[in-house]
Amino acid sequence: MLNELVLKNRSYRAFDESRPISERDMRALVELARFVPSGMNKQPLRYRIVSTPDELAKMYANSRYAAALSIKLPPEGQKPTGFIAILRDTEISSPEGLALKDCGIAAQTILLAAVEMGFGGCMLGSFDPAKLSADLSIPQRYQPLLVLALGTPSEQIVLEDAEDPSNVSYYRDAENQHHVPKRKLEDILL
Ligand SMILES: Cc1cc2nc3c(=O)[nH]c(=O)nc-3n(C[C@H](O)[C@H](O)[C@H](O)COP(=O)(O)O)c2cc1C
């Protein structure tokens, strides 16, 4: 059910490389993204699937994971096995703000579907867009907005209520388990 999917859809940063996501799986995810809402129905988003070893290595080198933690993620041998870059076609006249909203909707839809298929991923906003375009030979008219790192998760993530609303930072416990505090309902309802 959707409830379970939303809860299971965490930001995973460690993957089982022996169970990779295939290009075909990622094509199915983009096929689904065709049907998400789009401001003014302009549909300015484009998608670039990454699945070859050479391009995977370049994408991996150009992404930052859990910068707030002082540990190296993903752990060695547990890297993402696929990426989907979400880009905006700047030749389609859609206000940038609308395209960014479209991007969020598409990204979450793709990740929810990935979880339903037995995969998982992490949205990555921390990358060098110029390097991404150069590495993937993407023409200048396409502006990289967000990257989705994908694979079969190899870590468990603990969701918990944020007892202290002034501190919602994610953290790792003594067993290296990742914890994500979420604000309580009474703290987000105005
Ligand atoms: C727009 C956006 C950009 C993000 N960029 C990164 C990123 O560059 N690297 C990373 O490790 N996590 C990134 N994240 C994941 C967040 O850190 C994560 O959503 C947050 O810690 C809450 O964890 P959860 O997704 O499991 O609820 C991003 C999330 C969003 C929504």
Does residue 66 have its Cβ closer than 6 Å to ligand 1?
yes
Task: Tell me what pLDDT residue 171 has.
Answer: 96
Does residue 162 have its Cβ closer than 6 Å to ligand 1?
no
Q: Which domain holds residue 85?
A: 2-155
Length of the chain: 190
Q: Taking 90 as the threshold, does the pLDDT of residue 70 lie above it?
A: no
Measured CA to CA, the distance from residue 17 to residue 44 in angstroms comes to 33
Does residue 11 have its Cβ closer than 6 Å to ligand 1?
yes
**Where would I find the H helices in the chain?**
2-8, 23-33, 53-61, 96-116, 129-135, 185-188
- For residues 87 and 129, membership in a common domain is answered with yes
- For residues 165 and 95, membership in a common domain is answered with no
- For residues 40 and 62, membership in a common domain is answered with yes
- For residues 22 and 70, membership in a common domain is answered with yes
Q: What is the DSSP string of 117-147?
A: TT-EEEEE--S-HHHHHHHTT--TTEEEEEE
How many structural domains is the chain composed of? 2
Burial of 83 (0-12, 13-18, 19+ CB in 10 A): buried
Burial of 91 (0-12, 13-18, 19+ CB in 10 A): exposed
- For residues 50 and 128, membership in a common domain is answered with yes
Query: Residue range 67-93: average pLDDT?
Result: 95
Task: Tell me what pLDDT residue 94 has.
Answer: 82
**pLDDT tens readout for residues 86-99:** 999 999 998 889 99
Query: Residue range 138-151: average pLDDT?
Result: 98
Distance 42 CA to ligand 1 centre (A): 26
CATH of the domain at 54: 3.40.109.10
173/70: higher pLDDT: 173
- For residues 111 and 166, membership in a common domain is answered with no
Task: Tell me what pLDDT residue 62 has.
Answer: 97
Q: What is the DSSP letter of 35?
A: T
